[in-house]
Amino acid sequence: MVPNQKCLDEGVVTITAGSLYTVCDMLVALCPIPIVMTLRMPLQQRIGVCILLGLGFLATTAGAVRTYYTAMALLRSWDVSWYTGTLWGVACLEVDIAIVCLLLLPLVSFVSC
């Protein structure tokens, strides 16, 4: 035992981390778009690349929904299992959307050729 130790509230830590991850996902999806629009490429290709980068907002939305259901499960309900099914489903959906966006990345290089 360590003297004077304190436990952290699992719900608060998890919600804070989920919120920070969601904000970071949004920034990663948003920041490259102004840079792409200043490149010397045809407008149609720049718009195509921005649309592909904009798919990251789907993962951001799924992350926000996951954070909401995490808050419902850990902070607002005494029955964690009631929200767990939806929580796991949304978490899997978030990862699947991120994988699809990653798989579309070679398409960005094809469009820019």
Structural domain total, the chain: 1
Whether residue 5 lies inside any domain: the answer is no
Whether residue 53 lies inside any domain: the answer is yes
24-42 burial, b at 16+ Cβ within 10 Å, e below that, comes to ebbeebeeeeeebeeeeee
* DSSP string over 39-102: SSS-HHHHHHHHHHHHTHHHHHHHHHHHHHHHHIIIII-S-HHHHHHHHHHHHHHHHHHHHHHH
Q: Is residue 53 over pLDDT 90?
A: no
Q: What confidence score (pLDDT) does residue 111 get?
A: 55
Residue-number span of the structural domain to which 57 is assigned: 10-112
Q: Is residue 1 over pLDDT 80?
A: no
Whether residue 1 lies inside any domain: the answer is no
Whether residue 4 lies inside any domain: the answer is no
Q: What confidence tens digit (pLDDT) does each residue in 93-105 have?
A: 888 887 887 787 7
Residue type, 41: M
Whether residue 28 lies inside any domain: the answer is yes
Q: What confidence tens digit (pLDDT) does each residue in 68-88 have?
A: 988 888 888 788 788 788 888
Do the Cβ atoms of 53 and 29 come closer than 8 Å? yes
pTM of the predicted model as reported, rounded to 2 decimal places = 0.75
Q: What confidence tens digit (pLDDT) does each residue in 14-50 have?
A: 899 999 999 998 998 889 889 988 989 888 888 888 8
> What's the CA gap between 53 and 66, in Å, rounded?
21
